[in-house]
Structure 1
């Protein structure tokens, strides 16, 4: 067949459709956080479909780990970008987040409905201490990975103390940036790599920065709650390193301790329930957004969920589009690699502070303490998936 008659586009279109079906399957079946997500991406994208090699997948995942935002979401979006460019990447992002976002939005609306009709929420009473158990274990495991020396240990402890004493969302970016700057000074410990000139395409960076500044300015001028919600989540999504566990203290400080959009019980119930869902834990933002606009009716709750979801996921998407194009050159700079140590150490400290703040009110009540300890024991010493633990907690709440 002559080259001009070769059906290239139909074949490519079929390949894209198969890829999108695979993304949907993953969105409905991937429980357990970034580590489990990566294993399932490997099984489906590398071993089964051969969309890319193992080394290519691991490199993309490493890149996403050093960027702010949801690691699993950025990785799967980057795979879509590699296969079919930016359009397929955006569709990939939408398919990946839609199931969990839909469920958490419905949960947020349902929670408010129960409260309005004075229906008991006692069925979720075990979920709240279980969420604290999940957070403590996640913080411990993050610390094991990122605390490598006395400097990182000191940074983690300092970050925890500062975040615990000064419970303001303003402190979060300060702590993270300070941690990165401190360890950047130790760059000489890192291996020197041959550098190549950086060839940077700035469009997506300016898009990210433009939305960041524009949303902050528009929110300050209009004082519109949907705009401010978008700005709040966009800012948090631009500053969080380390995944959903690190995002938790940022959201708690912002929306519970500082702005009082949610009660502590509502926050913990949503945090526990999101552990039982497939897909990205960043979809917790959808739940918070819906409850934050509870007094605006069903349409307002949906709108709150939408702007919050867009706010939390867009920064990481813009940044992966931006950095992906010159990652090979950037990772050769020792200062960049060194700064990540401090960012990660500070993030682990923030997680510890959030776990302490959430556990404090439970400490006088031995049943809550027992649930926290049992949850931690199950996570540490068994392979029972979080979804099973959460379902058992809900069933126990209904029966007892």
Structure 2
């Protein structure tokens, strides 16, 4: 057999890898505003987010795959330098350059944010084996629906500071589950309570219910927490995506005395020492409302469009509840998030800073929604999130 047929598989594999990697790098490099026309459709927006999240979850493997594509393209070019093969080589080169640049930015940010240099951790493209909860509790009932919470206990007998974790899922999905933070925080001395809240349905918007359900869990914590070894004087709220919106609203409204729990009593609400919002939904009326998935999320959660229910949209805007004495607030977010757009989140951070709130904003470069932490893989984004969360809790809660 001649060299040409033997190298044809190399060309095919190089072509597939180069195209996929190059396409995945474009959303990481181009400003989100450049893709705004594509984000207007739910289907194209979902496609962009899906390929970007897959890229982020692979972490350092993207660079290795790009190197493989470049080597295979070079091997194919050695056999014959046709236009097609030169094109494949060019795309493979661009894919390698793009993945090297974005990975370099993440590595620099990891070191800068105190997550350190972990050259091998990002190369593991499998779930990190997050441990499950130690106990599942019923913390209340709302409209006949049980609200439960998974408790992750730290080692030791002394009362532990508590992190109330609130999952994401677009307000109409998601569930309590092991993730990159729950057991990680428990291993560092923080009890974690991963809580339920009522999910929106087309026939049941929960804009006025979900935050009240977080209040229900807080009320249970203030009333029953000491019996479970939980220190109710050291409490933080941590939510991601839609859960970030609920965490911010519950923390700010609890501080202002405006949070009415769906069960228990407002008198039992503990003081919230700090709040953390990961890639949080903060504005469903502006840029978010112009994206396909943003419109769908708002219509289900709120019950209609912004021009139909302006008061409801204003009520779920955390900036409308902030005050100078609101709890210290950490926000982390991928700079190329095509689901929860960076612009509104940056505007929100500027607003609460101007209000006098102690604030930290961590931008995770070249990453989309979740910054590589959604599926439990070990990535630089995961390490950055874990590091900044622990730093914030140690500074304001421990």
Higher relative contact order (Cα pairs below 8 Å, separated by 6+ residues)? 1
> Higher strand proportion, which one?
2
Higher helix residue share: 1
TM-score range, shorter chain: under 0.3
Over alpha carbons, which structure has the higher Rg? 2
User: TM-score, normalization: structure 2?
Assistant: 0.24
